[in-house]
Structure 1
């Protein structure tokens, strides 16, 4: 596209459907569920990214 931007418009009926779906996503119940899920995903990601965890980590050998 030679570095140019292209603008595309959906047909009116598809635009109305998409708009309605987005409006439904902004309910308090849905936002609360999303917030909880995002917090859980962040906790898991932080654990995996911490030293000694995740891909390439060597197994822990219990002292004993």
Structure 2
């Protein structure tokens, strides 16, 4: 099983990532970072990963068979 560590460094490649805000105001959640470096918030808004203030973990690996 993969081990993930929180980092303030924003993702630089597409994939699924864990995200949590710096104030830990909500539980961590999973987002999909697209080819242009944006992700969608749970409320539907889009944002560039470089502008998000929080910590990242990933990319999340696909499970093995």
Q: TM-score range by the shorter chain?
A: under 0.3
Please tell me whether Structure 1 or Structure 2 has the larger radius of gyration of its CA atoms.
1
Greater per-residue strand proportion: 2
- The structure with the largest helix share of the pair is 1
With normalisation by structure 2, the TM-score equals 0.17
